[in-house]
Structures are given as structure tokens and as C-alpha cells.
Amino acid sequence: MPRGDKSSYTDKQKRTAEHIEESEKARGRSEATAERIAWATVNKQDGGGKKRGSANNTAAKTAKTSPTKKAAVKKTAAKKAAPKAAAGKATKRTVTKTAKKAAEKATAKTTVKKTTKRAAKKTVAKQATRKSASTTAARTPAKKTATKTTTTGARKRAAGKA
């Protein structure tokens, strides 16, 4: 079979290639490029020609069966080794999870402590300002009355001398 022979392709594959070729031409590709893209797409989708007796068909069957057998062997080996590895992984995971939780708790505790300290400082500062304001307010009327009495007494004395 010469290279580029399309006799091993089914009618459906040929129709698909024609449709892809037309759409590529509509996009502005040259005829040769559109044909190349169309057949490359059909090959990628279907794995080559599908008619009986084609060379690609037998190669595709052997290629498809051998990886599944290898995968089955790998799966059984992985299943045997899984319990041992899972035990090690599980302990690592639990250790990391507990470490993360502990770290989160510690940070939460420190943030709570910091916020309570800040709140305590604010309340102490507020109380101090209230006390100083109340003492100054209490002192102010006493000073006023004291100054009033002294000024009125001085006036009376001055008036009495005159």
C-alpha cells in the first residue's frame, strides 16, 4: 500500500475528513494544508483506518490490549503495597493535621490575649480620664466658691474701711 493511500479508511472516516477539510478551507487555509489537517484529525480521533485487513487495525489492537494488561499488573502490585504505604501516609497526615490545628489554636489564643489586653488598656485609660475629669469637676466648684468668698470678703473689708 503506497504512502497516503486512503483505502483502509471507512466511508464515515472519509466523510469526516471531507467535512473537516471544507471547514478549514472556509477558515482560509490552502487546499493542501486543509487536507493534511483533516486526515491528521481523523487519525487522532480514530487511530487510523478501520477497514478489515488494514495494517493499522492489528497494530491498534495490540497496542490497546498490552497497556491494559500492564495496568492490571501495576494495580495489583499497588494494592499489595498500599496498606503499608497507607499506614505511613496516614500517620504523616494525622501528624500534620494535628500540628496545623495546634498552630491555629495557639494563634487564636494569642490573638484573644492581645485583644483582651488592648481592651483592658482602653478601659483603664477611660477610667483614668473619667476620674481625672470628675476630680477636676469636683474641685472646680470648690475653687469657685473659695475665690468668691475671698473676693467678696475683700470687697466688704474695702467697703468697711471707706
Read off the pLDDT of residues 107-136 as tens digits, 9 standing for 90 and up.
877 888 888 888 888 888 878 777 777 666
On the CB side of 104, how many CA atoms lie within 13 Å of its CA? 6
Phi, psi of 52 (to 5 degrees): -60, 140
C-alpha–C-alpha distance, residues 160 and 154, integer Å = 10
Asked if residue 143 has pLDDT above 60, the reply is no
C-alpha–C-alpha distance, residues 46 and 9, integer Å = 10
Average pLDDT, the chain: 75
Read off the pLDDT of residues 38-52 as tens digits, 9 standing for 90 and up.
999 999 998 888 887
Asked if residue 64 has pLDDT above 60, the reply is no
Asked if residue 32 has pLDDT above 60, the reply is yes
**E strands, 100-153, in order:** none
pTM over 0.85: no
The C-alpha torsion from 156 through 157 and 158 to 161, rounded to 10°, is: 120
Contact predicate 8/1, CB 8 Å: yes
* Residue predicted with more confidence, 162 or 108: 108
Q: What is the mean pLDDT of residues 54-65?
A: 55
Asked if residue 21 has pLDDT above 80, the reply is yes
DSSP 48: S
Read off the pLDDT of residues 87-97 as tens digits, 9 standing for 90 and up.
556 677 777 77
